[in-house]
């Protein structure tokens, strides 16, 4: 079955055609980064308007690149949570329109489930990757993105099979990258720039303690390290010297990736699971990818790291997660709504009190 996926939860308009086995026929991502860069973050109203402008051409492009028509589709999957409600609604209403007009089944997908399952996508042109095995269930996954940072026990391709083992108490990891980059005058989004500068920086020059590293819990906290960086900049100003900026980036990135990698592997061991998976925009970080691989291998844990295009926001992961729902015969009605909250949090935080 071929599924059209549609993604508009934040600042990327995406559409993709994916087969239920994970084969990606097309994956179009129209980023709004330039639109929001001058504000140093996503402006919700501008995001919604840009999605509304771009959704039709992006969906047409995805169908054209996959060389399929609407009649070839077995269903439509659309991100309906979590995210900016106005942005999500553009995708949801567009998906409903096509589904209604063509009599196609429609399913809403939780964006976070998409990130957790992105490892199953098979993209053309990644020959070694295509051949690489995909994880079996259960696995333990670190989802680290712009809005979320949690570790999940994943026992199947459905949201009720994803159990949160621990998460951040304050900022998401990607948010910390973005805020620190902003402090250092490096622009938005911060992750890719810090990644690039950290590679040439001396991480031992301004050593940072990994946040929450010593606590034997699976919780994270990134606001402290961000404040220490802010204090450093307040006391010394933004360094003029590129090597010094690079050293600050390297020290920050070392501390953050270290705690993320350690707790992911620790979570797998605590739960007797021998497979770890990465997902979310921060999983594109080269140091994180490397540290997780090294730490997992040292403990005899298999490590599955998706290619970069599957880590950052894309509609292919939404189509894949939707295909799993459609394959089980699930359908959503025309009353499908957009909500800002993930259903994963609600499910898993029950009993522990809401956030
Ligand atoms: P969420 O998935 O939580 O709803 P989102 O969709 O905005 O939020 P993603 O697009 O998955 O988040 O990830 C974007 C985040 O990833 C940004 O904070 C960005 O800085 C970060 N990021 C992207 N590339 C890298 C990188 N190479 N290193 C570190 N962080 C990165
Ligand atoms: Mg984004
Ligand atoms: Fe995301």
ipTM reported for the complex, 2 dp: 0.98
- Establish if 117 belongs to a structural domain: yes
Q: Whose CA is nearest to atom 3 of ligand 1?
A: 147
Asked whether the beta carbons of 223 and 171 are under 8 A apart, the reply is yes
Shared domain for 172 and 270, answered yes or no, is: yes
The CATH number of the domain holding residue 37 is 3.30.420.40
23 DSSP assignment: B
- Establish if 346 belongs to a structural domain: yes
Q: Is 113 in the pocket of ligand 1 (CB under 6 A)?
A: no
258 is in an annotated binding site: no
Number of domains the chain is built from: 2
Q: Which residues contact 13 (CB under 8 A, 6 or more apart)?
A: 7, 29, 30, 32, 50, 51, 54, 55, 58, 91
Q: Is 280 in the pocket of ligand 1 (CB under 6 A)?
A: yes
Rounded Cα distance, 225 and 252, in Å: 8
Rounded Cα distance, 263 and 220, in Å: 9
List, as one string, the DSSP characters of 61-88. Answer: HHHHHHT--GGG-SEEEEEEESS-HHHH
Q: Is 24 in the pocket of ligand 1 (CB under 6 A)?
A: no
Shared domain for 296 and 326, answered yes or no, is: no
Shared domain for 116 and 195, answered yes or no, is: no
- Establish if 247 belongs to a structural domain: yes
Q: What is the predicted pLDDT for the residue at 132? A: 76
**CA 278 to ligand 3 center in whole angstroms:** 13
Q: Say which residue the tokens 């295009």 belong to.
A: 309
- Establish if 154 belongs to a structural domain: yes
- Establish if 134 belongs to a structural domain: no
Shared domain for 291 and 327, answered yes or no, is: no
Q: What is the predicted pLDDT for the residue at 215? A: 75
Q: Say which residue the tokens 């590129």 belong to.
A: 242
Q: Is the dihedral of CA 330, 332, 338, 343 positive or negative?
A: negative
Q: Is 197 in the pocket of ligand 1 (CB under 6 A)?
A: no
Tokens of 92: 């949801």
Rounded Cα distance, 108 and 92, in Å: 8
Q: What is the predicted pLDDT for the residue at 131? A: 65
- Establish if 118 belongs to a structural domain: yes
Which residue range is the domain that position 339 belongs to? Answer: 2-126+310-351
Shared domain for 149 and 295, answered yes or no, is: yes
Q: Which of these, 294, 225, 299, 222, lies nearest to 266 by C-alpha position?
A: 299
Ligand 1 pocket test target in 12, 82, 172, 174 with most atoms within 8 Å of CB: 174
pTM of this structure: 0.95
Helix (H, G, I), strand (E, B) or coil at 124: coil
Shared domain for 151 and 264, answered yes or no, is: yes
Shared domain for 186 and 119, answered yes or no, is: no
- Establish if 102 belongs to a structural domain: yes
CB atoms under 10 Å from CB of 341, counted, come to 13
Shared domain for 298 and 160, answered yes or no, is: yes
Q: Is 14 in the pocket of ligand 1 (CB under 6 A)?
A: no
What is the mean pLDDT, run by run of 10 residues, along the chain of 355 residues? 98 97 97 90 94 98 98 98 98 98 98 98 76 91 97 95 95 96 93 98 92 84 95 95 97 97 97 98 98 97 96 98 97 97 67 39
Q: Is 7 in the pocket of ligand 1 (CB under 6 A)?
A: no
Shared domain for 314 and 289, answered yes or no, is: no
Shared domain for 185 and 282, answered yes or no, is: yes
Q: What is the predicted pLDDT for the residue at 214? A: 75
Q: Which residues contact 286 (CB under 8 A, 6 or more apart)?
A: 195, 199
Ligand 1 pocket test target in 146, 175, 255 with most atoms within 8 Å of CB: 146
Shared domain for 117 and 246, answered yes or no, is: no
- Establish if 276 belongs to a structural domain: yes
Shared domain for 301 and 316, answered yes or no, is: no
Helix (H, G, I), strand (E, B) or coil at 332: coil
127 is in an annotated binding site: no
């Amino acid at each position: 079955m071929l599924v059209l996926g549609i993604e508009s939860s934040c600042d990327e308009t995406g559409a993709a055609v994916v087969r239920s086995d994970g084969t990606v026929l097309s994956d179009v991502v129209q980023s709004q980064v330039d639109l929001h860069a001058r504000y140093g973050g996503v402006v919700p109203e501008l995001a919604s308007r840009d999605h509304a402008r771009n959704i039709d051409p992006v969906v047409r492009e995805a169908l054209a690149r996959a060389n399929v028509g609407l009649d070839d589709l077995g269903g439509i999957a659309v991100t309906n949570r979590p995210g900016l409600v106005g942005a999500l609604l553009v995708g949801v209403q567009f998906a409903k329109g096509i589904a209604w007009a063509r009599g196609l089944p429609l399913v809403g997908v939780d964006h976070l489930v998409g990130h957790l399952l992105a490892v199953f996508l098979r993209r053309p042109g990644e020959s070694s990757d295509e051949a690489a095995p995909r994880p079996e269930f259960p696995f333990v996954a670190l989802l680290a993105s712009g809005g979320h940072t949690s570790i999940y026990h994943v026992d199947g391709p459905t949201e009720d099979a994803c159990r949160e083992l621990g998460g951040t108490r304050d900022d998401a990891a990607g948010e910390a990258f973005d805020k620190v980059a902003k402090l250092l005058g490096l622009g938005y989004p911060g992750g890719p720039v810090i990644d690039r500068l950290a590679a040439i920086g001396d991480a031992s020059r301004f050593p940072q303690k990994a946040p929450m590293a010593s606590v034997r819990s699976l919780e994270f906290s990134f606001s402290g390290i961000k404040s220490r960086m802010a204090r450093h900049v307040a006391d010394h100003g933004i360094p003029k010297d590129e090597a010094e900026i690079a050293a600050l980036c390297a020290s920050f990135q070392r501390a953050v990736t270290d705690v993320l990698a350690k707790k992911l592997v620790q979570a797998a061991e605590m739960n007797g699971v021998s497979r770890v998976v990465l997902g979310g925009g921060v999983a594109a970080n080269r140091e994180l990818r490397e540290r997780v691989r090294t730490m997992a291998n040292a403990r005899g844990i298999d490590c599955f790291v998706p290619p970069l295009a599957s880590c950052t926001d894309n509609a292919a992961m939404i189509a894949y997660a939707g295909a799993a729902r459609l394959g089980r015969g699930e359908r959503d009605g025309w009353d499908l709504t957009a909500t800002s909250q993930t259903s994963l949090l609600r499910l898993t935080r029950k009993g522990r009190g809401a956030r």
